[in-house]
Amino acid sequence: MVRGTVIHIRHGETDWNATQRLQGGQERPLNAVGLAQAADSGVRLKRLLADLGRDASDFTWICSPMQRARRTMDIVRQELALPPGGYLIEERLREISFGTLEGLTYEEVEAIDPASMHGIRTDKWHFVPPGGENYVMLTDRVRAGFEATSGDRIIVAHGGVFRALLGILRGEVDETLAELTVPQDRFFLWQDGRETWV
């Protein structure tokens, strides 16, 4: 189990999130809802840090390199009156790749590639989409990216990345995390094993 404080913020909504398309490695901008979610996360994070008696400078700020995550990070930091930049870009925190399935809904995957849909339904943790990666692969790279820093961290990344990260924080593999819903209008707080959604 990881000691210390880790805050994970999922990027705000994109149009592909809204229509439930597999987004993965595709660059999609935040929509109006996503921009508002990012600003709200910043407001709530500012309040949380005050409640915890912590300063933003107590944390290492880390972000996925993907556009939707970086935009979210910039908005969150703006709400805390922090300067632009001032955070690490960690390539290994980019979202899980769905390969050739990216851009499709599950209904479309079912119609086009029923074998892949069967793999997703029966063993989502281990299933490797054509040209993509599974949660085992994702966990390996997220662990490497996470362990490249130390101390208390604020991370802005993705739903898939969070599922892998949660297992890392808990110190155990939990294949059911592949099905975990990761909200975009709340963020996750880890404090020495205590888990809270804010």
The number of folded domains in the chain is: 1
Burial class from Cβ neighbours inside 10 Å (0-12, 13-18, 19+) for residue 124 reads middle
Per-residue pLDDT of the chain (198 residues; tens, 9 = 90+): 999 999 999 999 999 999 999 999 999 999 999 999 999 999 999 999 999 999 999 999 999 999 999 999 999 999 999 998 999 999 999 999 999 999 999 999 999 999 999 999 999 999 999 999 999 999 999 999 999 999 999 999 999 999 999 999 999 999 999 999 999 999 999 999 999 999
Q: Which residues contact 23 (CB under 8 A, 6 or more apart)?
A: 14, 16, 17, 95, 98, 102
Domain containing residue 143: 5-197
Query: Nearest-CA neighbor of 93 among 144, 38, 42?
Result: 144
Question: Residue 113 is part of a domain; what is its CATH number?
Answer: 3.40.50.1240
Instruction: Report the predicted TM-score, pTM, of the whole model to 2 decimal places.
Output: 0.97
Contact call for residues 165 and 96 (beta carbons, < 8 A): no
Contacts of 168 (CB under 8 A, 6+ apart): 2, 139, 142, 143, 146
